[in-house]
Each structure stands twice: as C-alpha cells, then as structure tokens.
Structure 1
Amino acid sequence: MNIKINVPKNPALAVRMLVEAGFEAGVVGGCCRDAIMGEIPHDWDLCTSAMPDEIQAVFKEFRQLTMGLKHGTVVIIIEGEDIEITTYRVDGEYSDGRRPDNVIFTRSLAEDLSRRDYTQNAIFYNDFKGIVDPFNGVADIKNKVIRCVGNADKRLKEDALRILRGIRFASILGFEVEEDTKIAMFTNKKLLKNVSIERITVEFSKMLQGKNAINILNEFKEIIGFIIPETKAMMGFEQNNPYHIYDVWKHTLVATNKAQDLVLKLTMFFHDIAKPSCYTIDEKGVGHFYGHGDISSKITAKIFRRMKITNAEGISGSDLKDIIELIKYHDIKIEPRKKNVRKILSKLEGNELQFQRLLSVKRADALAQSPDKLENSLKEIHMIELIFNEVVSEKYCTTLKDLAINGKDLIHLGIPAGKEVGIILNRLLEDVIDEKLPNEKSDLVIAIKNLS
C-alpha cells in the first residue's frame, strides 16, 4: 500500500534504532489514522517485536521511564520528548469486562494488531515496510466507518469502555458505526457498569465536542440513557409550546450543537433536564415548564457529583460552578435596558465573562427553538450585548465590592456588627442599581441615616 507517513524526528529515530538493532518497530494506532486522514497526530505510539528488557538495552544511553514495564511499555526520553514504546502483546482473558487478566509478549505484529479495538487503530507503519493493515482499517477510514477488529460482540465484551470509545470516534471524526459493531454496542451496553465513572465522563465529554455529536448522541441515545439515566425522560417528551418544534431531547441536542466550547456544551446538554418533571399544560393545551431552570441546575449538580465531571479534560471546579449557574439562569428574562442588564450582572456577582456566556446560552437555546421566533430573539440578544458593553465601559456599580460604602463604614455609623450590616448593604446596592441612589458615599450615608 503506497501511503507515506511523515513520522517526526524523535519517534523516527527510535524506530530506526530498534530496526538497526534487529527488531521490527513502527508507529501504530491513532497517529496512523490521523496521518492517513491528513490530520496532524498529537501522539506517536510505537510498538516493536523487542521485549521490554531489549528495548531498555537498545536505549541504554537514554533516560527511561519504566512505570509501564509489566505491560511491556518503556518510555524513552529523546531531546526532552517522551517516546512511548510497547512490546507486541497478546491479551489474556478479560474476566472483569474491562482489563485483561494478564498480557503475553509476542514477536508477532499480526497477533498484536488483532487484539486492538477498531480497525482504524490496527494500522502499523514504518519507512521500511510501509503500511501494514490486516483488517482494512485504511479502507474504513476512507469510507468513514467505525468497525471492530474481528468479532464485534467479543471485542466489546472484553472491554466495555470500547463502546464509548467507538461512539466518541464516530462523533469526533464524523464517521458512521458499522451495523454489526452498532448491534454489539447496544447488546453490551449494560457492561458499562464495569467501567469507572471517571472514564465514562471523559468519553462523554469528548463525544459532546464532536462535529457529528448531534447525530451520534441521538443514534446512541439508549446508551447515553444508560450512563446518565436522568436523560431518558427527555427522549420523545413533546413540549406542546409555540416556541418549540422539537421534543425536549432533540431540542437539547440541537442547542448543544450550537454551543461553542465544552463549558457551554455541558450547559446546553443539561439545561432542560428537569423539563419533563416540571411540565404543566394550560386550558388552551399549551405546555409550560415553570421553574425548570432552577430545578435543572439542582439535578445537574447531583449528576456532576456522581460523574465526577471535573475529571474531564478542560473542566475545573470553577467551570463546574459556572455551568450550574448558567443552567439556573438560562431562562431568566433579560430586558434590553441598562438597569435590567445591571441587575442580571449583579446576580452573576459582576462576572462579565459569565454574562457573556449567558448570552451565548440564550443564543444557542433560541437557535434550537421555533424558526419563526428566531429573528426577534437574536435581535434582542444582540441589543442586550450592546447594552452590556456600555455598562461594562461605564464601570457601573453592580456588586457590593463596587459600592462606595462598606461594612466598616456602617459599624462606624453605629450599625451593630452582624446580619443587619449585610441587609443594609444589599438594600443600598439594589437602590444604586435601580438608580434610586447615586453611588456616592455621602448620599449613601444619608440614606443609611434615613433608614435608622
């Protein structure tokens, strides 16, 4: 097969040193897939017929990391770069449905490739042999197909995490899952109970960010419902509201697809999760979901604790708090007036980025609603954005820290230390935001004396 992969300098050097020492070696897996697709690989994984001790001997002049030695992996450090090299191996039985009980090292490349999960990851390359592709992974890449190596049912029973990996690949790469592999995924979904919640969360977060997420999450909604049971009530739940053309689940997927980054995608995926439990219908047959934002935020907080969501790459504890807050306020009415914008900014503790995110949430929500309401919704969001920029440029008081008076000042004026200080400060802040008072210390002092 006449495919040339340009392996970078340091991994190429490692391959050449192993080959010159009499062993077979090359790059394997995701890096080959990405290179064949014309993408730039982020990681270069090497495999070889050399046993672990032989790898160490070949690279005796280099610093080595050997934490993965029992699994056949040696990390060689070349010019500050970690090069991971793994001996060809055959996996033993998977009695826990997650990891092999043992691994057996082998000199056979064919045996090593045959144990891998998907055909796209069972491709080997070096400059001496070219592409080695016994399971037609190159053809599957070109045809945009996700297919298990060998028997799909057996492969997924060995390690249930492969189910989510396959769905994630389909979402990110824009591929379709081949029929036998898809059937095996559904058949074995309950085996996901053997997978740690941290690994499930990492795969789910990556799925959300795929270019084909909207279709793949819908196609595999039974599996999503298994890992996040709270989503099942959303599926097929009609909204019966003139603002909506989709059921709750489809609206959620379209809104998630319209969001730009992981924080916003997580927000949109969970923003309406309480809708089925909040549903009421009026005398005209119109559906309503009063209070669903607040209840959705509480449900999501519980789900995030269970899923240990901060284990997902790119999500911090601070992001977690912001997501919960965005869900809580996603449906709040923001009027295109300075006073109202300041009030909402105050609710967000003056967090300007969070206000901008809230507008992004509202935009994604609108884009997943009825098209005949869209133009007006987007115009209003744009107006609010312009007003927000003015409010920010004016550096107007929106939080207690911006107030021209503080707790010490109140105590000095004879207000007893304690709850009353906070109550008075918050009342003053509200009056300043409502433009009933200027944010001037002298005016605030007079107001305090009038309260006494």
Structure 2
Amino acid sequence: MKLNLPVPVEIAFRQLESCGFCGYLVGGCVRDYLLKTIPTDFDITTDATPAEIIRCFNNYRVVETGIVHGTVTVIIDGFPIEMTTHRIEGNYSDKRHPDAVIFTKKIADDLARRDFTINALAFHPQKGLIDLFDGLSDLKNKIIRCVGDPEQRIVEDRLRILRGLRFAATLGFRLETKTQLAIRQNCGQLNELSAERIGAELAKLVCGKNVKAVLLEETQVLGVVIPELLPAKNFDQQNPHHCYDVLTHTAIALETVPPVLRIRWAMLFHDLGKPETFTQDANGVGHFKGHSVRSEAIARKRLTLLRSDKKTIDQVCLLVKYHSTPIAADKKIIKRWLNRLSEPLFRDLLAVKRGDDQAKASQCSIRLENLAKIELLLDEIMAEQACFSLTDLAINGNDLLLLGIKPGQEIGRILNQLLEDVIDEKYQNTKAILIEKAKEILRC
C-alpha cells in the first residue's frame, strides 16, 4: 500500500528515522486516505518522547500543544504535523481526560486506546497499513464499531456517544449493534459534557450526508441535548400539505439543503415549534399558527446553550422566523427582502424554503416553481446592480448636510424615504434626482 503523502509529512518520517525513531500516520488521515478523501490534518504517533521529538526537530518550529499528554506540533515548511508519543491511558475519573498517561514503545498499545476501529488504523511508508482491530473491514462494510468494549470506550469519554453519531452522519455508515446499544444506554450522560464540545460535534453531524437516518434512528440520543426533537417524532400533522410527521419532514428537508451550517441549523429547528402550537379546525385539519415564532425561540435557546456564536444564532433565527412567510415573484418585493436580509441570507432563505417544500406533499410543487421564478428575478436584480439598501443610494448623509439639514433623525428619515421610493421604482437612483426629491420631502 502506497499513499501520496505531502512532502512535509515525508520529511517528518525521514527525520524521525534519522534520529532512530519510528512514526506512523494514525487516525482520521489514514481513514480519509482509504476512503479516497484528501486529509486536512496529519497526525503521527511515534515511539519518541516529547523531549526526543523536540530534539529531533530542532531545526524546525515545534509548538508544545499538549505536551502533558505527549503531543507537540511540528511545523515543516508552514505545514503543521501533530506528533504524539505512543501511550497507554489510565482511568478517566472526569469522564474526559485520563488520570495518567504512560508512554510506551508499542504502536499496538496506542491503537488499543482509540475510540472506533476506523480511527485505529496506522500507516508507515515501509511497513504499510497496521490494522489490529479490523478497521479496514469496517471501512469497507461502512460500520462504526468501538475498539474493544463499547461501554469502556464511552465511560472514558462520553463525547464518543456523539462522535459515533457524527461519523455515521458524515460518512454514511451504520452503528455496529453493541456500539449502538452502548450509545443508547449511556446517552443520558451527555448532560455532563461541556456545551462547547456538544455543539462542535452537532455542527458536524447536522452537515453530514447521512443526517436523515441518524436523526430518525437516534432521536432519543439527540433528544438529550435538543429535547424538542422528542415530541416531533411521530407527530401527525393532519394537514393535506404534509405527508410526513414533523420529525420525518424535518429529517428529509435537512438532507435536501446544502451542507452549510446556518442553513442546516435552520432546517433542523424550523418546525420544532409545531407540537406546541398544534390546533385542529372543525374538519379535523391540523394548523400550526405561530409555529415559526415558537421555532425561532427554540432555535435561539438551544444554539445559545450550545455556545454558538451570536452571528450564527441571529442568522439562523431569521431563517427560521421567515421560513413560512410567503414571498411573491416580484422585483420590488424581492428588493425589500434583500434590504431586510442581505443577498447571501436571502439566498439561504430560498434554500430553506425549497428544502421545506421538497419534504411536503406533491401539491406543494407550485411553491417550488415560484421559488425558481424568484431566483431568476434575484439574479436579474443583482446583474442590474439595483438599489436595495442605503449604501446603494446615489446620495448619503453628507449630501443632505450640504442642503442645510441638521445632523440627526431627519437625515435618516429622508434617506429611508428615498430608498423606499427607489425600490418602488418611483424614480431613478441618480444623485441629481435624489437631491431634488430630498428637497421635496423637506418641503412637505
């Protein structure tokens, strides 16, 4: 087996060997190579201690990123390579970090402590692939299996519960039976993890290509960290526009939209307010008045608890808030939406609406046709460099000051009025015209 390694990685192997040590590529980069995916991170495990690694690479920059646990990062030609000494780990009293780390010369000892078999593969340029736990077989069969005893692996670090689901979602793999059972039986312990660690795993999970299956099959597990998923499961919408229950609709919609985090988050939360807002009319038809507002509140609460950044939370909440608001295929209306959201977020809103409609009954296809028309008009507006924001106006506050208008709210009022009229195409967006119109507004 031969891998096309980056030159800095090849240099690292040669340097270790010249100093009398042996290193192996390990973990995700080996897995990615075997899956025909270009790795983004390169980790090497070695029989050299941290101090020996530092001496071996004394001609390169070395960062002591985790030296207590045997890890340093060597920078070769600007290329970071994380190197960790082979190690055996003690008990995990805090359910996250080993109480003690014992360095070892055996690669087998190091691989035995890893989470899943597909991450316990190692590679050496001359020795080839080291596969002590049938990780290659699990890769071929698309299986997520814990190394050794699943219960023990999860006791060591509860985050492995979500890591297992994340790998299933991102790789399109299925959980091995014993691993799945251990994950389900221990999922209540997720509450003991930090919000940041949970949020980081969920962000990768929701962007996975197989997120639909994971969401539907492991609702109880995910419901520990997002409880609003639980009442959505099997919730019959009793509405002719919907052919799926709330959670199935959500899962299908989630997988149809682009794997952009804010879009995926919005799709996950967009209907979670439905169970709380459900009513039936005299004919037994289900309605969900105000569900967008409730879903927005859920999204803000959960993403805040997961320590998402404010910008992402605000963008997701806008997408959830407006996901069911009708939009006509009209240039003036589209420009108003652009003014409200900006072009990128408005395009995201159209993606959310499309995903929502694609997961509904077939009679909703007319909505998809309307979205296509809106996108065509949007492209025309952008190509025309049409004015839809204050920054697009041909005049600004300084121009109004030259007219003798005092600084303050009056300037904002006039500029907003001019923008409204330009969007409504009452007159053109030229400086001469806007100056005259500003004078007219002043006289009113």
CA distance in structure 1 between the aligned counterparts of 2:177 and 2:261, rounded to whole angstroms: 30
Task: Give the equivalent residue in structure 2 for 1:285.
Answer: 284
Provide, for residues 369-405 of structure 1, a one-character-per-residue CA deviation record: whole Å limited to 9, x for no partner: 112322x122111112222333344554434555677
Q: Give the residue type in structure 1 aligned to 2:440.
A: I
Task: Give the equivalent residue in structure 1 for 2:302.
Answer: 303
Cα distance, 1:415 vs structure 2: 8.8
CA distance in structure 2 between the aligned counterparts of 1:432 and 1:207, rounded to whole angstroms: 44
Task: Give the equivalent residue in structure 2 for 1:125.
Answer: 123
- Residue 370 of structure 2 is aligned to residue 370 of structure 1: no
3-state SS in 1 of match to 2:223: helix
3-state SS in 2 of match to 1:198: helix
Runs of 5+ unmatched residues, structure 2: none
Cα distance, 1:448 vs structure 2: 5.0
**Counterpart selection for 2:381 from 380, 386, 391:** 391
Alignment of 1:237-276 (within 5 A): 237-260=235-258, 261-276=260-275
3-state SS in 1 of match to 2:83: strand
Cα distance, 1:419 vs structure 2: 6.1
CA distance in structure 1 between the aligned counterparts of 2:59 and 2:379, rounded to whole angstroms: 59
CA distance in structure 1 between the aligned counterparts of 2:113 and 2:69, rounded to whole angstroms: 14
Task: Give the equivalent residue in structure 1 for 2:316.
Answer: 323
Provide, for residues 275-298 of structure 1, a one-character-per-residue CA deviation record: whole Å limited to 9, x for no partner: 222222211222122232233223
Q: Which moved more, 1:435-444 or 1:96-105?
A: 435-444
Task: Give the equivalent residue in structure 2 for 1:341.
Answer: 334
Contact 1:271 1:297 in 2 (8 A): yes
CA distance in structure 1 between the aligned counterparts of 2:12 and 2:337, rounded to whole angstroms: 58
What TM-score, normalized to structure 2?
0.90
Q: Which moved more, 1:438-447 or 1:40-49?
A: 438-447
Q: Give the residue type in structure 2 aligned to 1:49.
A: D
Task: Give the equivalent residue in structure 2 for 1:354.
Answer: 345
- Pick closer, same or farther for the CA change 1:239–1:413 going to 2, 3 Å: farther
3-state SS in 2 of match to 1:42: coil
Task: Give the equivalent residue in structure 2 for 1:190.
Answer: 188
What TM-score, normalized to structure 1?
0.88
Cα distance, 1:131 vs structure 2: 1.9
Cα distance, 1:145 vs structure 2: 0.6
- Pick closer, same or farther for the CA change 1:412–1:32 going to 2, 3 Å: closer
Q: Give the residue type in structure 2 aligned to 1:287.
A: G
Task: Give the equivalent residue in structure 2 for 1:313.
Answer: none
CA distance in structure 1 between the aligned counterparts of 2:29 and 2:394, rounded to whole angstroms: 58
CA distance in structure 1 between the aligned counterparts of 2:147 and 2:47, rounded to whole angstroms: 21
Q: Which moved more, 1:413-422 or 1:62-71?
A: 413-422
**Counterpart selection for 1:159 from 149, 152, 157:** 157
Provide, for residues 397-444 of structure 1, a one-character-per-residue CA deviation record: whole Å limited to 9, x for no partner: 434555677778889999997667756765665555455677644345
CA distance in structure 2 between the aligned counterparts of 1:177 and 1:250, rounded to whole angstroms: 20
Cα distance, 1:177 vs structure 2: 0.6
Contact 1:5 1:32 in 2 (8 A): no
Contact 1:405 1:444 in 2 (8 A): no
Contact 2:113 2:147 in 1 (8 A): yes
Cα distance, 1:227 vs structure 2: 1.1
- Cα RMSD, aligned residues only: 2.6
CA distance in structure 2 between the aligned counterparts of 1:73 and 1:90, rounded to whole angstroms: 13
3-state SS in 2 of match to 1:226: coil
Q: Give the residue type in structure 2 aligned to 1:154.
A: Q
- Residue 106 of structure 2 is aligned to residue 108 of structure 1: yes
Alignment of 1:74-223 (within 5 A): 74-223=72-221
- Pick closer, same or farther for the CA change 1:379–1:28 going to 2, 3 Å: same
- Pick closer, same or farther for the CA change 1:448–1:293 going to 2, 3 Å: farther
Give identity over the alignment, percent: 43
Provide, for residues 70-121 of structure 1, a one-character-per-residue CA deviation record: whole Å limited to 9, x for no partner: 2112322323322222111111110111111121111122211111111111
CA distance in structure 2 between the aligned counterparts of 1:427 and 1:62, rounded to whole angstroms: 61
Task: Give the equivalent residue in structure 1 for 2:12.
Answer: 14
CA distance in structure 2 between the aligned counterparts of 1:79 and 1:141, rounded to whole angstroms: 32
Alignment of 1:44-63 (within 5 A): 44-63=42-61
Task: Give the equivalent residue in structure 2 for 1:314.
Answer: none
Contact 2:212 2:251 in 1 (8 A): yes
Runs of 5+ unmatched residues, structure 1: 311-316
Q: Give the residue type in structure 2 aligned to 1:109.
A: I
3-state SS in 2 of match to 1:320: helix
